[in-house]
Amino acid sequence: MRALTQDSYGLDALAVRDVPEPLPAKGQVLVRVNAAGVNPYDWHFAAGQPMIARPMMGGLGGPRPQVRGADLSGVVAAVGPGVTAFAPGDEVFGFGAAGTFAERAVANATRIAHRPVDLTHIEAAALPMAAVTALQFLRAAGLTAGQRVMITGAGGGIGHFAVQIAAAWGAHVTGVCSTRNVAMVRELGASDVIDYTREDVTAGEPRFDVVFTNAGRYPLRALGRVVVPGGLVLTNDGSKAGLFGSMPDLLAAPLVSRFRPYRAMSVSASENAEDLAALARMVDGGVLLPIVSATYPLDRAVEAIRQVAGAGHARGKLVVTLS
């Protein structure tokens, strides 16, 4: 089968090659991949950034698994021992276990769910990592109806899902994005939209109960100026490269906030079928819709990864198509 693989770190090492088809182990299924979402996560593994994380990415010599991609949507081709929740022919979406930019991919049965009936495979492939991250961050914040939340990077992958989820929960959402995404973010449910190219979002009196910041555009101290006393800053930033990347900022945020009138925290998102099913219900209920701005065939998947590298400026989600 064809897959996007690499033997060493660096985007130039990525290439589509023929590799053996994987076999589902106990508790796994084999999925015929129709589409695979693209995430900054894929860039981190491909580039080996931050460098301090390379031992956890598979080693100093190159990433493991060698096939890139984490999200998928497709059709179950076979099931491994012990799998009862899925059968061949089922249409599923979720997280792959060993790379998804491939014609076939294995996935743990506990990390996939049935595809929402109202979504195409391309749209469903855009959901897993970004939408689960948005859901888990907002849940950790204890967001409730009537609270005022500001979401930066509101036109991007995680951000555009966070806007919709927060609005569905009854929050008053202020989305922060570039000029080209203002109309989209408003249509997704934001009550107010700030164009960061024209207005300083960190100016003014404290007015937000929660700030959910993506991509590290604003320092914590600046965001703290617009958070009410006792409010919360959710920090999520995978934009930096180098030896440590964004890790020092994320680790320092809770410590710094001890000396401020607000709290700061990050969340380590987890892959699970329960949250995927919750997202599917939101889709079926008409309150969540993935925005896919571009699709790429497997032969051009590297272009998609470059689009989400570092600070990235992809609108909504990018998806790699395989059929």
Residue range 271-323, pLDDT digits in tens: 999 999 999 999 999 999 999 999 999 999 999 999 998 666 789 999 999 98
Whether residue 271 is contained in a domain is answered as: no
Say which residue the tokens 């219900």 belong to. Answer: 281
Banded pLDDT at 92 (limits 50, 70, 90): very high
Q: Is 48 exposed, middle or buried (0-12, 13-18, 19+ CB in 10 A)?
A: buried
Nearby residues of 252 by Cβ (< 8 Å), 6 or more positions away: none
Between 244 and 204, where is the model more confident?
204
pLDDT of residue 322: 96
pTM, two decimals, is 0.93
Are 134 and 232 contained in the same domain?
yes
Banded pLDDT at 244 (limits 50, 70, 90): very low
Whether residue 285 is contained in a domain is answered as: no
Are 259 and 295 contained in the same domain?
no
Q: What are the residue ranges of helices labelled H in 141-214?
A: 157-168, 182-187
CB 16 within 8 A of CB 2: yes
CB 163 within 8 A of CB 173: yes
pLDDT of residue 245: 43
Nearby residues of 180 by Cβ (< 8 Å), 6 or more positions away: 155, 315
- Which H helix or E strand runs over 251? helix 247-256
Are 152 and 239 contained in the same domain?
yes
The whole domain housing 153 covers 130-265
Q: What is the residue-averaged pLDDT of the chain?
A: 91
pLDDT of residue 258: 64
Are 10 and 116 contained in the same domain?
yes
pLDDT of residue 254: 63
DSSP per residue, 256-317? HGGGSSSEEE-------HHHHHHHHHHHHTTS----EEEEEEGGGHHHHHHHTSTT---SSE
Are 14 and 95 contained in the same domain?
yes
C-alpha span between 307 and 289 (Å, rounded): 21
What SS3 class is residue 189?
Answer: coil
Are 159 and 255 contained in the same domain?
yes
Mean pLDDT of 76-87: 98
Sequence letter at residue 188: L
Sequence letter at residue 61: G
Are 99 and 77 contained in the same domain?
yes
Whether residue 284 is contained in a domain is answered as: no
Strands (E), the chain: 2-5, 15-18, 28-38, 71-79, 91-95, 104-108, 112-114, 148-152, 172-177, 192-195, 208-214, 227-236, 263-265, 292-297, 317-321
For residue 169 the two structure tokens come to: 């929960």
Count of the separate structural domains present in the chain: 2
